[in-house]
A and B are shown apart, each in its own frame.
Chain A
Amino acid sequence: MFTLSAEGQELVKKELTRYETPYSAIIPALYRVQKENGWVPEDAVLHLSQLMNLPASHINEVLHFYTMFNKKPVGKLHIQVCTNVSCAMNGGRELADALCKRFNVKYDEVSADRKITISRVECLGSCDTAPMMQVNDRYLENLTPELAIKKITEMGG
């Protein structure tokens, strides 16, 4: 079964005391799992359920509500390209396609060298700098395919 590091468990315990209801700590707890593991495996839900003393079903509800939690493995760089209205009008979809081609990977799959996963996502709230993408927790804006590829390569992709 997946378990958090000692430090991770400490953090979750602290989050539990922060809010009016312990249910509010589910998001930070799942985030922590994702941070330690890159994605949230099914059995992490059981681990958190024990750790937080909350029903597994309710943790699972939160996990499956938000697409921001990865339910399957992702590469070292998780590249989320916005293809919502503003970005799409400025070439977001073409950008995403170009990245898949360059890094030889299909959407939502992990590249052979396990370094890259590319996803198309909805608006990331940075419409004025469209097209844009998010690589792990960094925003990269006003992109062209060439610029995006350069940045990703710099980041180790």
Chain B
Amino acid sequence: MPKLKINGKDVEVPAGATIIQAYKASGQDICHYCWHPGLSVAGVCRLCMVQVEGIPKLQIACNTEAKDGMVVNNNSEMVKETVKWGLDFHLINHPLDCPICDQAGECGLQDQYMQFGAYDPEMAEQKVKKSKVVDLGPTVVLDSERCILCSRCTRFCDEVTKTSELGIFNRGDHSEIGIVEGKPLNNNYTLNTVDICPVGALTSKDFRFRQRVWYLKEADSICPGCSTGCNVKVHYNEEGLWRVKPRVNPDVNGHWMCDVGRNTYKYVNIKNRLLAGKVGRRDSWMEMSPNDATRTAGMRLKDVVDKHGPESVALVLTGQYTNEEYKDLLVYFVTGLKLKNIFHWVNNPEKLNDFDGLLFRGDRNPNTKGLEAALKLAGSKGRWEDLQAGLNGKKIKAVVVAGPEDQSVYPDMNEKVALFAQADNLVWFTACPSDALNGSGAETWQIPVKTHAEKAGTFTNFQGKEQKFPLATTIVPQALTLSEAAEVLAGKELNWALRPKSLGGAKNNYATTERGAL
């Protein structure tokens, strides 16, 4: 393991590491655009200049191997001057777009300029004009003028997705990123190119022009999109969630996440949510607070158990809740109500083991493994045929369902509602409203629950890796978690003072929520 000095600080790096990696390891800043830890080395931006003692010319840190005994710096006058000019050259053709650019606030050019540049520009040349709106595909838009040709996006498509949609066409200052006519940038990972683009050249159609990034807060989370459980950050404000971005975790998702996962913030937002409890059936529903709905449902369940015994109630769980919630709910049903009928609703059994080779899995539940473990612990045998037989034979009088948070991945929603509604009573925990539920013929309790972003908990991913995540924000404060629901079902009072409140002050600016064509 080579040991070297970086700006006077000793660091040790693995054999074969480059100087830029040594910089990262030593926690010191180095100007760079084209290098990205998840991609191959391109060495095209020439900004990561360093001075290595004994070598007369400056070297690029991203493509120079760190050797034992090296003494390296990037704070000498020579390096500073070089980097300053490097930046100035990058900005020759870069438009003054910051006021209208989505990247502003998280832009490599802005950041590096403030840190390593801060010069008076000496370029008097006319800027080369290029296309401002290039439609690369269903998710990404390119502004050619802003591109600094770092080639991160093309390397991503060559090396990570191996789809090679993007290329650099033409030469010199006419060079532009582009696609070949009829071959759009269209794979399940396209939005990573927007993340790694150091400037505002690639923007997400979904996010562009919607929010200024410095007004958004971020919180760590786990993507609920599939059983991979990519580590993510959700970006939110008082109006709700606006986007999801990957968080590095070499054991799970590396630097990336998929486009399907990027959409998981949508159903979390208030206009897609079930806000009040609904009790009734088909055409007549009564609204009440989630707490009251849960309490009355709890009383009904207790009645049914008292009259017909614990075999008359069935609990159906989906792999969309946290380990903590499964535990609390099962404690109430198994120890409290002595239930044996506990079932695992698998939404897409044929696709369960599908895998795209990168991250995305056919099991569109974040916590199938966690649910399986909880069921095992609870001693559930849970054969689906028994549930069906029990319902057909009218032995099962009440079904309690912890329904999917994301209904779009449950193609059998209607079918299952019809099946469960054969019982006289149906208690359904759901984050979002559902037409199928509104048509239920049983006496039905629709009880709003929190989404993954609104609670802390643990998901166990397909590898069996337990991943904890914190509460990000609260969008529907009155909705319950399953743990809270378990308490209320059991007749306990929640401590309202301790429950999380929403950020408040939501403004409704339609221009940020209604999308135009691009």
Contacts and interface: CB of A to CB of B under 8 A. Distances in A.
Contacts of B98: none
B180 interface: yes
Interface stretch (B49-57, B72-80, B167-175): B167-175
Nearest to B164: A55
Contact of B166 (A46, A57, A65): A57
Contacts of A42: 181
A116 B187 CA distance: 44
B362 to A, nearest CB: 27
A61 B168 contact: yes
- Counting chain A residues whose Cβ lies within 8 A of the other chain, the interface size class is 10 to 19
A58 B167 contact: yes
Given A45-B180, A55-B165, A61-B169, 19 more contacts: A42-B181, A46-B180, A46-B182, A46-B183, A55-B163, A56-B183, A57-B165, A57-B166, A57-B179, A57-B180, A57-B183, A58-B164, A60-B178, A61-B167, A61-B168, A64-B170, A64-B171, A65-B170, A65-B171
Contacts of A64: 169-171
B67 to A, nearest CB: 29
Contacts of B165: 55, 57
A55 B180 CA distance: 10
Contacts of A57: 154, 157, 164-167, 178-180, 183
A58 B165 CA distance: 9
Contacts of A46: 180, 182-183
Interface in B136-179: 154, 157-158, 163-171, 178-179
Interface of A: 42, 45-46, 49, 55-58, 60-61, 64-65
A80 B171 CA distance: 20
- Counting chain B residues whose Cβ lies within 8 A of the other chain, the interface size class is 10 to 19
A38 to B, nearest CB: 21
A64 B178 CA distance: 11
A40 to B, nearest CB: 13
A1 to B, nearest CB: 10
A51 to B, nearest CB: 15
Nearest to B163: A55
A28 to B, nearest CB: 19
Nearest to A45: B180
Contacts of A55: 158, 163-165, 167
21 contacts: A45-B180, A49-B180, A55-B158, A55-B163, A55-B164, A55-B167, A56-B180, A56-B183, A57-B157, A57-B164, A57-B166, A57-B167, A57-B180, A60-B167, A61-B167, A61-B168, A64-B169, A64-B170, A64-B171, A65-B170, A65-B171
Contacts of B180: 45-46, 49, 56-57, 60
A118 B347 CA distance: 66
Contacts of A58: 164, 167
A46 B157 CA distance: 18
Contacts of B167: 55, 57-58, 60-61
A64 B163 CA distance: 20
Nearest to A61: B167
Q: Which 8 residue pairs are nearest across A and B when measured between Cβ atoms?
A: A55-B164, A57-B167, A56-B180, A64-B169, A61-B167, A64-B170, A60-B180, A56-B183
A27 B182 CA distance: 22
A60 B165 CA distance: 11
Contacts of A65: 169-171
Contacts of A49: 180
B158 to A, nearest CB: 8
Interface string B269-304: 000000000000000000000000000000000000
A6 B517 CA distance: 44
A46 B154 CA distance: 18
A60 B164 contact: no
Nearest to B169: A64
Q: A49, A57, A61: which has the most chain B beta carbons within 10 Å?
A: A57
Interface string B101-131: 0000000000000000000000000000000
A60 B464 CA distance: 45
A61 B170 CA distance: 7
Interface in B176-203: 178-183
A58 B168 CA distance: 8
A116 B104 CA distance: 51
A121 to B, nearest CB: 14
A49 B170 CA distance: 19
A42 B181 CA distance: 8
Contacts of B163: 55
B169 A60 contact: yes
B429 to A, nearest CB: 47
A122 to B, nearest CB: 12
A64 B167 CA distance: 10
Contacts of B171: 64-65
A29 to B, nearest CB: 15
